[in-house]
Chains A and B, each alone.
Chain A
Amino acid sequence: MPPAPPAVPLTAYLIVSAILFSLGAIGFVIRKNVITMFMCIELMLNAINLSFVAFSYKHGTVDGHLFTFFVMVVAAAEAAVGLAIILTVYKNRNTLMADDIDSLKL
Chain B
Amino acid sequence: MDTLLFALFAGIAILSAVVMIMQRHPVSSALALVGVMGSLAILYLLLGATFIAAAQLIVYAGAIMVLFLFVIMLLNAGAEPKPLRQSFLARALGFPLGIALIAILGFLIQRTVPPDSVVVRFADAKAGSPQDIGRALFTQYLLPFEVTSVLVLIAILGAVVLARKET
Q: Which residues of chain A are within 8 angstroms of B163 by Cβ–Cβ distance?
A: 84, 87-88
The answer to whether the Cβ of B167 comes within 8 Å of any Cβ in the partner chain is no
Is the pair B68, A83 in contact by a Cβ cutoff of 8 Å? yes
Q: How large is the interface on A (under 10, 10 to 19, 20 to 34, 35 or more residues)?
A: 35 or more
Q: Which residues of chain A are within 8 angstroms of B152 by Cβ–Cβ distance?
A: 73, 76-77
Q: Which residues of chain B are within 8 angstroms of A68 by Cβ–Cβ distance?
A: 49, 52
Q: Which residues of chain A are within 8 angstroms of B116 by Cβ–Cβ distance?
A: 9, 11
Tell me the dominant secondary structure on chain B's binding face: helix
Question: What is the number of residues of chain B that contact chain A, defined by CB distance less than 8 Å?
Answer: 77
Q: Mark A7-21, 1 if CB is under 8 A from B, else 0.
A: 111111111101111
Q: Which residues of chain B are within 8 angstroms of A30 by Cβ–Cβ distance?
A: 21, 94
Q: Which residues of chain B are within 8 angstroms of A24 by Cβ–Cβ distance?
A: 17, 21
Q: Chain A interface (Cβ within 8 Å of chain B)?
A: 4-16, 18-27, 30-33, 35-36, 38-40, 42-43, 46, 49-50, 53-54, 56-58, 60-63, 65-66, 68-70, 72-81, 83-88, 90, 96-97
Q: Return the contact of B120 from the options A13, A63, A76 (Cβ within 8 A).
A: A13
